[in-house]
Amino acid sequence: MKTLDRISWLLLLAVGIWAVLFFRTFQIQVLQGEKYRAVASNQSQDQVLWKAERGKILDRRGTVLADNVQDMVNGYAETRRLFPQGALASQIIGQVGRDGQGLMGLEYFHDEELRGIPGWRQRVRDVKRRIIPGMDRDGVRPVPGKNLVLTLDSEMQGIVENALKNGVETYRALSGSAVILDPHTGEILAMASYPTYDPNQNSSGRQRANRNDLVSLSFEPGSIFKIITASAALNENAVNLNEVFAGESGRWTLPNGDVIRDTKDHGDMNITEAMTYSSNIVFAKIADKIGAEVFYRYARNFGFGSKSFVELPGEESGLLKEVHSWSGRTLKTMGFGHEIMANPLQMVMSFAAVANGGKLMQPTIIKEWRDSDGNVLKSKEPVEVRRVISEETAASVREMLRKVVVDGTGKSVISKKLPHVDFGGKTGTAEKYDTKLKRYDRSRQIASFIGLVPASDPRYVCMVLIDEPTEKATVGGLTAGPVFRKIMEDIYYHPALSPLPYNMAQVSLQENCKTDFIGLSKTAAERLALSENCGVRFEGTGSQVIAQKKDFFGDSGLILTIGHVENQQMPDLKGLALKDALELMKNSRVNVSFSGKGRVTEQFPDPDTPLTKGMNCRLVLKEQV
């Protein structure tokens, strides 16, 4: 009986345990099933951010400047940014951090559009919390970033960067910058600074290489600002082209004792001559005739004192002081580019306004936005900000800029490789202001040249800046000017860039036609051309070759223009100012040298001496007492 009771209790205990287990199982699986299924799911799965593919950056021809590449990490593909062209346009493109966010340049400034919209997905893990490859479950798919198409041309960009590198090294400068744009649309075709860097590499500690001086540098422009003074004066009829200003023997003392100097005594000058020889004195006088209120208005209308709103980070607005804060000399010194701060892009856009007939355009580096399939979402149209001068004024100033290159401070820009292309432009040499010493430091200069190509009907406007050149020369005409010339020569000889009808790659030219025929008689020119196997044809009437150019549309190598040369004998130059004497001698094809300053007192050879090509002529100048 006792045995039966013991068995009964054991059975009851077993049934009780079973009932408890059954109830608990029912509770977990049925009553709280959703809760525990969620816990199990959370332990075997996790939700992660699904990054959107970053949009590409391309140049105007479709060359990819910024792309994405996938690397496999722990069985999963991770995307990183790749810059296929290396250092090309690196200050413009910028960089992307490890988190996929833009750090500099366009990558930073347009990060939101390039980054896209992220999604999320679920990953499956095993009991040890290891990710199981291939078991991902879709959540919300990301939206890819937009592709950015720039106005830059990578071929032109390469030409500019190479010329800058050589220029900075040649003149042992701190840095160099250059920009080329289409003056009619405001599109930036190339923009570079040197030294540069490769965005595929770590760029920390390379602040100078990261900086885009074309927008972030604020500097005193100096003589390149004289086109604003000339434009305002002519447009307001404050000065006419024939009005002559006293050169003050190269040194003008103001009533308050301040002195304005020219590099040397150029004699009396009209506005064109003052631009040609870059006279600070005459442009100070011209600014006086314009007046403070009017001059300020023109400077403001040309875009100085405010940002241009180009789609790049770090743009400086410069400094244009309000008229009420001007000192007694501000108006005069602003006439030749002092007491005003500008960024280089502002200066280029002011030259572009002169180039296109008087319209200030908004600069742009964006051509269009596209979706990931290549469909155009938005195109950037040219934006005219305002008309700043008349077409007639613009044409007059363009002719001044042409004279600067032909006869003045920009002679180093003349290209023997492109004798048929007329360059125009303005040189500038701005001394940096030492805030500690409170004076200009002549040992630290920014040399500049801004050119129009061709001068009469510009297709390109190009600015070159050389910061603190120390070797060979320091002035803009002898540093920035030659770099500009090299850039244009390479562009004109490039098969994809050279504007027709000057496309050197599409025109077969005779390599033997490199002789200078000017000054020879027609008979002598024919004999020389035959001996050098150079095909020539003649235009005009006369007995002597007075000009030559390449024959782009005919079968000859050269076209020789013949005419009558007036200076067959040495003229009497005594009593003339140097510029007038040189003007008389410029067509004589003789080598002219001079010493002293003032007016011609002696000349060799004597008046009426027969002149021949290559003869040496020497002038002695003395100041009149």
Options 90, 175, 223, 448, the catalytic residue: 223
What DSSP string runs through 210-242? H--HHHH--B--GGGGHHHHHHHHHHTTSS-TT
* CA nearest to 571, candidates 614, 603, 612, 615: 603
How far apart (Å, rounded) are the C-alpha atoms in residues 577 and 274?
15
248 Cβ neighbours under 8 A, 6+ residues apart: 281
Tokens 């120390």 belong to 470
| Residue in 570, 571, 516 with CA at minimum distance from that of residue 545 | 516
b/e sequence 191-215, b meaning 16+ C-beta within 10 Å: bbbbbbbebbeebeeeeebbbbbbb
Annotation marks residue 90 as catalytic:
no
Residues in the chain: 625
CB-neighbour burial class of residue 404 (10 A; exposed 0-12, middle 13-18, buried 19+): buried
Q: In which residue are the tokens 């631009």 written?
A: 275
- Give the residue from 129, 136, 155 showing the smallest Cα distance to 63: 155
Q: How far apart are CA 401 and CA 385, in angstroms?
A: 24
CA distance 161 to 516: 33
Query: Which class for 387: exposed (0-12), middle (13-18), buried (19 or more C-beta within 10 A)?
Result: middle
Gap between the Cα atoms of 402 and 396, Å rounded: 10
Residue identified by tokens 């002695």 is 620
Contact 621, 597 (CB under 8 A): yes
Instruction: Report the side by side order of strands in the sheet with 424-434.
Output: 188-194, 175-181, 460-467, 439-453, 424-434
First to last CA, the chain: 155
Residue 71: partners with Cβ closer than 8 Å, 6 or more residues away: 77, 78, 79, 80
**d(Cα 424, Cα 413) in Å, to the nearest integer?**
9
3-state secondary structure of 435: coil
Q: Which residues are catalytic?
A: 223
